Structure 1
Amino acid sequence: MNYLNAKSAPAREDRLKANIAFGGTVDEMIKCSKGGCFSETGCLNLAGRRFSQTQGCQFTLSLAILNTLRNAVIIMHSPIGCGACSISNVGVNKSFKQLRDPKADGVVWLNTNLDEADVIGGGERKLREAVLYADKEFRPDTIIVANGCVPALIGDDIDSILADLQTQTASIIVPIHCEGFKTKVMATAYDAVYHGILKNYIRKPERREYIAEPDFEKLKEQYRISRNVNILNVSSMSRADELELQRLLNAIGLNVNFIPCYAKPEDFEYSLETSLNVSICGTHDDYFVEHLKEKYDIPFLIDTIPIGRKNTDRWILKIAEYFGLEKEAHLLIKDENELLDKSLEPYRKILSRKKVFLAGGEVRIVATAEIIQDLGMEVVGFKAHHFDKFIEPIFEALEDVEDVVIDVATNQPFEQSNLINLLKPDVFITHTGGNNISAKYGLPILPLFGPGYNYLGYSGTFEVARRLNRIVRNSQFNKKLAENTLLPYKKEWYEKDPFTYIKSQDAV
């Protein structure tokens, strides 16, 4: 899998044959994927749309991770509008950094502000000036250069410039090639960030140097006994999520370290001193852990995401099995489930039989559906950003979803609006920012995940139930919105099949 000799990570549609256009039932999608449809010629690969309203951008998604890194200055080599979404993350990122280090700075970023003249003459001079200014003004451990679409199109030689500047600066300079136009699967952003981290941050720390030739087999066993675990976190996790997962693994005797989000450069060096890398979400982490396994022989676990009771049980057991701690894990799971059952009972009485539509990252929405079923609610539809092999184990925690409708679409709000009108759910669960049109239906809306509250583990299941109870009992704002606003699409669209514009590979 070694792609590190290349300038940038490959697109997900090439590396994983990920799909961004599918409409049908869960059963149809699973059968298609098990039939080898992630191959070059499979029916899930290369599907598209005759009409596309919006699409995600890997540049902005890369920034969601990069803005969390401590002791770093981010330089956006792009026009000024690219990365403007970072403004909305400033408060959260600063607060979360200071939860790890009270003296940590907030988000510091610069933009090279490329304009029409730079498109003709090149933006290399501005990039040089920005890097030298960042090093002199802020003296960060790291200067991260996120490369936008414009410099890639006009041919700025980013790597050569930064290699030359590295000899003139005290900071580590990290190029991140995350041009939005290079992929339709915005999750490629995670690979782009990890590509830069792997090439520039990951190295054995100095304390791992030995005077005498070490016994590597003995060292491996010592690290296994030490029970150190890296958990690969994501930018939309909260600190409460991390503390919940740390609590659960500490309870069975494991030590926990979180990377990459909110880490500092040396954290990546010492991340090699671990027995196991554990993924929260395969969509985020496979590129990173596969390379660490290949280069440093560190085992990894990619299975499910610890959202909901069954998924959390499975996640803990999979980790415990590696360390031979199954007995401790089963005792923990038994106690946690008994407590959770008592806690959820009042909410089941209120939420039971209500219909729910979920939209967002594919792993998250399917895992959240397990909470929905646990509360006695009915899942009537999914809309996933994309679809790849990492979603398959998550469906195992669900029951009777074979006939549930699933739309695979990165954004495409016109399809989502049609489906909501068709399925008429009682509750809508989606990422923050993806609910503006859906709110006009008068639906109670629960944010999917969120950096401000607990969503993972057993305590996260309770928190989701508590929040669902609150929004279902008090949805007057959205009801008033529905009474006083118009939907953005003509009525003729709502009379059509929501998947009208999806075309198969054969039609590409």
Structure 2
Amino acid sequence: MNYLNAKSAPAREDRLKANIAFGGTCADIKNRIKEGCFSGKGCLNLADRRFTQTQGCQFTLSLAILNTLRNAVIIMHAPIGCGACSINNVGVNQTLKRLRDPLAEGVIWLSTNLDEADVITGGERKLREAVLFADREFRPETIIVANGCVPALIGDDIDSILADLDAQTAASIVPIHCEGFKTKVMATAYDAVYHGILKKYVKKPDRREYIAEPDIEKIKEQYRISRNVNVLNVGSMSRQDELELQRLLNAIGLNVTFIPCYAEPEDFEYSLESSLNVSICGTHDDYFVEHLKEKYNIPFLVDTIPIGRKNTDRWILKIAEHFGFEEEARRLIELENKLLDESLEPFRRTLSGKSAFLAGGEVRIIATAEILQDLGMKVIGFKAHHFDQFIEPIFDALENIDDVLIDVATNQPFEQSNLLNRLKPDVLIAHVGGNNIAAKHGIPILPLFGPSYNYMGYSGVYEVARRLNMVVRNYQFNKKLSQYTRLPFKKEWYQKDPFTYIKNPDAV
């Protein structure tokens, strides 16, 4: 899988045969997986739409990770509008960074502010000036240059410029090639970020050799490393999520380090002192852990995401099996499940029988659906940003979902609005930032994730249930909104099949 000799990571539609346009049932999806649609035998990755309302951009998704890194300055080599989403991250990132380091800075970013003249003459001069200014003004440990569409289209030789500047700056310089136009699967952004991290940050740490006889310190160090686990966090996790997963793995005797979000550059060096890399989400991490296995022979686990009781049970047991700690893990799981059953009983009385629609990242929505089934709710629909091979193990925790509709669409709010109008769920659980149209349907909405809430592990199941209970019982704002506002699409659209515009000859 070694792509590190290339300038940038390949697009997900090429590497993983990922799909962004599909309409059908969960049974259809599972059958396509069995037929080998991700091994080149199927053609779902070639699906598209005759009409597209919106599309995700890997540049902005790359920034969602890069903005979390500590001791770093981000330079957006692009027009000023690219990366404006970073403004929304300022407060959250500063707070979450300081939970790890009280002295951490907030998000520091610059833009080369490319304009019409730069499209003709090139933006290389502005990039040089921005890098030198960032090094002189902020003295960061690292300067990260995220490359937008414009410099890629006009042919700026970014790698050569940054290689030249690397010798002139105190900071190390990391290029991230995340041009939005190069892929329709915005999750390629994760690979783009990891590509830069693997090339510039990941290297054997300069540890001193122990000389003490009989090398007792060295033996202690090797024992510590033998129980180290890297848990690869995601930007949609909260600090509470991290503490919950740390609590569970500590309980079976393991040490935990979280990367890449909110890490320092040095943390990636010491990430090699680990016995196992554990993915929270395969969609997020496979590029990184596959390369570490190939280059440094560190084993990895990419399976399910620890959201929901069954998924958390499975996640802990898979990790425990690697270390031979199955007995400890089963005792922990038994105790946690007993406590969870007692705490969920009041919420089941309120939520049982209610229907739900989930929209967001493929792995996360399927996993979250298991919490809903645990509470006695009925899952009636999904809308996933895309789907690939990592969706397969997540289905195992769900029951009776073969007939449930699933829409694979990166954004495309017109399709979701049609489905909500058709299915009329009692509650919507959806990606933050995209719920303005959904609210006009008068449906109570629970965000799929949030920076200050716990969703993962056993305590996450309780928190989701508690907040769902509040949302379902009081959603007067959305009710009033539906009475006094109009949906943005014509009535004729709601009478059409929601998958009308998908170009896929094999779609059901």
TM range (shorter): over 0.9
Tell me how far apart the structure 2 counterparts of residues 166 and 45 of structure 1 sit (CA, whole Å). Answer: 39
- 1:100, distance to aligned residue in structure 2 (A): 0.5
Change (3 A) 1:318 1:157: same
Report if aligned partners of 2:225, 2:274 keep a CA contact under 8 Å in 1. no
Change (3 A) 1:221 1:392: farther
Comparing 241-250 with 218-227, greater Cα deviation is found at 218-227
SS in 2 for 1:229: strand
* 2:441 paired with 1:463: no
SS in 1 for 2:75: strand
* 2:121 paired with 1:121: yes
Q: Which residue of 2 aligns with 1:322?
A: 322
Tell me how far apart the structure 2 counterparts of residues 224 and 15 of structure 1 sit (CA, whole Å). Answer: 36
* 2:261 paired with 1:264: no
Q: Which residue of 1 aligns with 2:37?
A: 37
Tell me how far apart the structure 1 counterparts of residues 505 and 79 of structure 2 sit (CA, whole Å). Answer: 34
- 1:105, distance to aligned residue in structure 2 (A): 0.5
Per-residue CA deviation, residues 70-94 of structure 1 (Å, 9 max, x unaligned), is: 0000000000000000000100000
Change (3 A) 1:228 1:208: farther
* 2:467 paired with 1:447: no
Report if aligned partners of 1:19, 1:46 keep a CA contact under 8 Å in 2. yes
Change (3 A) 1:468 1:266: same
- 1:222, distance to aligned residue in structure 2 (A): 3.9
Task: Write out aligned runs for 1:52-131 (5 A).
Answer: 52-131=52-131
Change (3 A) 1:389 1:459: same
Structure 2 unaligned segments of length 5 or more: list them: none
Q: Which residue of 1 aligns with 2:415?
A: 415
Change (3 A) 1:351 1:226: same
Q: TM-score, normalised to structure 1's length? A: 0.97
Tell me how far apart the structure 1 counterparts of residues 335 and 282 of structure 2 sit (CA, whole Å). Answer: 28
Q: Which residue of 1 aligns with 2:171?
A: 171
Per-residue CA deviation, residues 214-268 of structure 1 (Å, 9 max, x unaligned), is: x9xx999945873100000011110000000000000000000000000001100
Letter of the 1:111 partner, please give it.
S
- 1:41, distance to aligned residue in structure 2 (A): 4.6
Letter of the 2:254 partner, please give it.
L
Letter of the 2:435 partner, please give it.
N
Letter of the 1:426 partner, please give it.
D
Q: Which residue of 2 aligns with 1:356?
A: 356
Tell me how far apart the structure 2 counterparts of residues 502 and 33 of structure 1 sit (CA, whole Å). Answer: 19
Q: Which residue of 1 aligns with 2:386?
A: 386
Please tell me the root mean square deviation across aligned C-alpha atoms, in Å.
1.7
Tell me how far apart the structure 2 counterparts of residues 246 and 37 of structure 1 sit (CA, whole Å). Answer: 36
Q: Which residue of 2 aligns with 1:181?
A: 181
Letter of the 1:497 partner, please give it.
D
* 2:40 paired with 1:46: no
- 1:45, distance to aligned residue in structure 2 (A): 1.9
- 1:29, distance to aligned residue in structure 2 (A): 1.0
Task: Write out aligned runs for 1:133-212 (5 A).
Answer: 133-207=133-207
Change (3 A) 1:494 1:39: same
Per-residue CA deviation, residues 309-357 of structure 1 (Å, 9 max, x unaligned), is: 0000000000000000000000000000000000000000000110000
Q: How many residues align?
A: 503
Change (3 A) 1:303 1:170: same
- 1:43, distance to aligned residue in structure 2 (A): 3.1
Letter of the 2:203 partner, please give it.
R
Report if aligned partners of 1:48, 1:505 keep a CA contact under 8 Å in 2. no
Tell me how far apart the structure 1 counterparts of residues 340 and 14 of structure 2 sit (CA, whole Å). Answer: 42
Report if aligned partners of 2:225, 2:273 keep a CA contact under 8 Å in 1. no
Tell me how far apart the structure 2 counterparts of residues 2 and 303 of structure 1 sit (CA, whole Å). Answer: 21
- 1:426, distance to aligned residue in structure 2 (A): 0.5
Report if aligned partners of 1:43, 1:505 keep a CA contact under 8 Å in 2. no
